[in-house]
Structure 1
């Protein structure tokens, strides 16, 4: 291991199974990179791979319930990883880290290297969960506080979010590549820094900084300009190579100091604004929990050291909670959708007609559908210049536990006149609205399985956390010895000493996003959204304007009556809101297009508010 005096340099190569595949190969060529890290697991992949693993257990057949895309990305970089002595730590093992580790070990041998592959288990807590459930444990939902007994779905798989200590142990015992299942997104960064700098398990201040570093680079180019609300001027109009945004690098010193930068000779930027954008993504409040440590983030401030180098300061480290998050999967049934295109006048009346006719066609079969929604996307321009500008889309979305209702059952020989969702939707076309035009891709009307997902808490003391080394050893990882109980609900408050909005002089109606950056995301059915200002004067205005009541008003028809939590991060001039249970059960089963909550910030930024004229005169974002 290198001297602890030198910061460890960790490259973030993936924010999901769909990310660009070039990153591992490119970083493997850089001898200054010490660890390659990526996040491959989402709530969608957890449910899909969990169901896949369960099917294999039931049938006795081997499964590959892991993320194949990681192997595809890793393969061309293996020789250089071995040459430069780099380490790799990822959660791509999903629900079968052992099978993936064995496959990668063989791949490394086939490439002529002696890289050593270890894996981490313990995240599959289905057995322990079922035992607690039989004993009456409520497993309260994190978004809603409802007991799991109210769910109405039968759990089939449960995964706990593990920390980074197991990864540190694997590296200490000689692993070059560490394959994990459901460790938290940032845990490989914590584990890598613990190993490199020989940190103890109660070095909470240092570990909290590593946790924040992991959070910042876990989504790859999200922090180098991806999804950034300043993209027009700083990427598109500046001549930046936005078709190849660089992947990020976190430099973590022995004392925990973090600097975020990116790979050389690529597009994108690393600024205090792009770092703020990722900082505000998917957080839940001033405390950021991990199985190893809790980071207090409302004291964070950022320093632009030089171009594409931002230093993170003000992170506070606290002990971890005695529990960790658990994701519970259930089979939800089947879902399908059907689309109509509506043009020109009387859109609301046309929608009303389609809805009434479709439900009438269903008759008694309406009760077979657990979800049935009619949603319009878009609006007709006042003076449209093309057919597209005059057309909106009506999406009929259905979920059912009866596969024959969406032609997805085992009975492939059902007659053409069997009542199905598609038939109910299309049979009224000739008695329907003016210009009636259905979507022609009928594949969407054939049901596909979907899963329900429940998020709760689980005791760390009951997790069988184990490292399996490349040379056959089994190393148990004990739960944290020092923990702290935290309130279930994080602090929520309005700003202190708000100023009258008239203090800044004359105003003009303009979109909030004209001068305010924003970012939003999802955690189960919760949606978080953060906004930040360009300078101190605009920050005083922003924190005075954006109250909980104002956000509820701006949400308008999107506000579902749920609780809204609010807190501030003054060091980055940010106001953050957590919209609890906002996303219709989350990504796996949502009836909305916005399954990931990423559209919420842009929806709110386009809302017209009274903005001081002098702010607009500075220029818009």
Structure 2
């Protein structure tokens, strides 16, 4: 495909948001509306952990093998329609994947050109880097790598978009990457298409924002969205499409034939997902998200604008992984009355049985029985039993499963395990995560083209020391001026949420469903309030920011996920449900802000007038006038 004479928006369609995403998504994208570029994201931190272990066993692998099955039937269509395809399915072995694709392309008699972007893998250089004065300090704790005490099996730096742009500029049709940043999959094609330069900061920032929205596929069409019940076609939401303009703004949409919907809220959900704060750090640009705006310009079309760019940081994130013992998970069930006493006894029995065998034991009950159960299932609580041990032999069948199974005759009444499910007999390797920082001068970012030529991509010469997030003052209490009728209700009746992982930290973005609820929400959601809404955050550091133009308050809860999802024994390893839990917590909400169907629900408590209280005022980062509101109380 030759570059167009007129720079119309670049149309990019997603077909994968993670390793294991819907396998038919590439079929759907090829059958959808006309596009210029296909992008597929397969890598996440927890995915890299698993790939690193498998790659070490078999160096010929290390890439997303099922991507080959996805793309093979469409190679002819990609060639005929002049579509470009960019993906990080290369994982730890882009060249291996390239060789496989080139063979398929040759067998099909096609002339598609394949390029590889490499240089992210720094595993073999870790000792040399440390000896040269690069301590590879932990991104959160500041500890040097030498303090970790483990032998890494994977170390991949996050590369930027200019290698992708160079490959496309040289005529590549398919660009296979390793660990580039997720948004680079979109920023690279956008920079190539529009001819952006290294210092086109605002345009590059807009490309990163578009990339951040697009890289998670159906997230922006209603997947994992708090307001899912109001969306059409949500049973099978389609994958997202973006139209990136020359000025960096974008229109987020979807294929007309697909289900789901694109609204300002579904887009906001992705904007606040897994960010560090208002400063979104990227290898090619630091994005200031403070002034981001979303506008519904037509059904299923949301314009995103307002991104501002600054020079990128002079350090890159490096994801490192090392084996850290073994873990195993099994489930049991408890039925009937006196559930709390039954659970207490079951916990005591399990700790007694497994004492001296396992190093860590996590026992979690899920849900509560119905007050008047109409079936046995409604009277049953599932119990997840997760164990960690430094040695595999500590979690053998005799040491773990048979001990759990021995409880049948001497544990609590109503106890059983699912005999129809696969027994927990095989411990899994546990891989610990170490997010490090490394100066960009130490990276060897390269592109290998179809004809064997190698291009070197130098670090951005404008990179500067950075990475500091702005400080937003906490809402401060102000004297209440008027009484206001309130009602106890879940926070989710006036707000939406999206949460995810940033290493061992969990981010939580909450935003008002309606403009009229924003003044109350932003004053109510102080750091102290989040601690009450999220009891498991007790003792942890919380960082709070505001995004007034999208009516959002954003939190980072440091350490909520331990040292990262790959070693987190909880079922919600990477914090995907934390935001929904916060929305389920009940607080006192002004009656006029509640949606009609809840305000009139006979099941809800009667509205009451709050007693005189204090409420937080407006902060300097928001231009809306201050409004006195009652401070909510957590149920």
Query: TM-score when scaled to structure 2?
Result: 0.90
- Report the equivalent of 1:306: 298
Give the SS at the match of 1:202. Answer: coil
Q: For 1:493-534, what per-residue CA distance to the aligned partner results, in whole angstroms no more than 9, with x for missing partners?
A: 345677667757110100000121111111211111111113
Residues 581-620 of structure 1: per-residue CA shift (max 9 Å, x gap): 1112322121111112111111010111001111125455
Q: Which residue is equivalent to 2:403?
A: 424
The answer for the alignment partner of 1:383 in structure 2 is: 372
Which residue does 1:540 correspond to in 2?
519
Q: Cα distance 1:99–1:52, how it changes in 2: closer, same or farther (>3 A)?
A: same
Report whether the alignment pairs 1:395 with 2:384.
yes
1:16: which partner in 2?
18
Question: Is the Cα–Cα contact under 8 Å of residues 7 and 252 in structure 1 kept in the other structure?
Answer: yes
Residue 474 (structure 1) shift: 0.8
**Per-residue CA distance 1:61-110 (angstroms, 9 max, x = gap):** x5111001211221222111111111011100000000001111111222
Kept in 2, the 8 Å contact 1:224–1:248? The answer is yes
Q: Which residue of 2 aligns with 1:585?
A: 563
Equivalent position of 1:59 in the other structure: none
Distance in 2 separating the partners of 1:117 and 1:172? 13
Q: Does 2:561 align with 1:569? A: no
Cα contact 1:422–1:446 (8 A) shared by 2: no
2:308 to 316, 325, 331: 316
Kindly tell me the number of residue pairs found equivalent between the two proteins.
596
Shift of 1:578: 0.7
**Using the alignment, how far apart are the partners of 1:29 and 1:123 within structure 2?**
34
Q: Are the aligned partners of 1:38 and 1:90 in contact in 2 as well (CA < 8 Å)?
A: yes
Aligned-pair CA distance for 1:126: 1.0
**Is the aligned partner of 1:86 residue 2:75?**
no
Checking the alignment, whether the CA contact within 8 Å between 1:11 and 1:27 is kept in structure 2 is yes
1:114-145 CA distances to partner (integer Å, 9 max, x unpaired)?
A: 10001011010112323334567543333444
Q: How far does the alpha carbon of each residue in 1:387-428 deviate from its partner, in whole angstroms, 9 at most, with x for none?
A: 1111112222111121112228xxxxxxxxxx5122332334
- Extract unaligned runs of 5+ from structure 2: 600-635
Check conservation: 1:338, 1:442, Cα contact below 8 A. no
Shift of 1:16: 1.3
* Cα distance in structure 1, aligned partners of 2:597 and 2:144: 50
For residues 371 and 252 of structure 1, do their structure 2 counterparts lie closer, same or farther at Cα, with a shift above 3 Å needed?
same
Contact between 1:272 and 1:304, CA under 8 Å: does it hold in 2?
Answer: yes
Q: Among 416, 419, 429, which residue is 1:449 paired with?
A: 429
Secondary structure of 1:65's counterpart equals coil
Q: C-alpha displacement at 1:207, in angstroms?
A: 0.7
Aligned to 1:109: 106
2:490 matched residue in structure 1:
511
CA–CA distance in structure 2, aligned partners of residues 496 and 552 of structure 1: 15
Partner residue of 2:618? none
Deviates more, 1:144-153 or 1:377-386: 144-153
Find the aligned partners of 2:31 and 2:377 in 1 and give their Cα distance.
Answer: 47
Shift in alpha-carbon separation, 1:574–1:112, aligned structure 2, 3 A: same
- 2:579 maps to what in 1? 601
For the Cα contact (< 8 Å) 2:29–2:239, is it kept in 1? Answer: no
Contact 1:128 1:462 in 2 (8 A): no
SS of aligned partner of 1:243: coil
- RMSD of aligned residue pairs (Cα, Å): 2.1
Measured at CA, do residues 437 and 534 of structure 1 come closer, stay the same or move farther in structure 2, by a change above 3 Å?
Answer: closer
Q: Could you tell me how far 1:445 is from its partner in structure 2?
A: 4.0
How do 1:49-448 residues align onto structure 2 when only pairs under 5 Å count?
49-56=51-58, 62-133=59-130, 138-233=135-230, 235=231, 240-363=232-355, 365-366=356-357, 369-407=358-396, 419-440=398-419, 441=421, 443-448=423-428
CA distance in 2, matches of 1:30, 1:383: 49
CA shift for structure 1 position 492: 3.9
Task: Provide the C-alpha distance between the structure 2 equivalents of 1:38 and 1:24, rounded to a whole number of angstroms.
Answer: 9
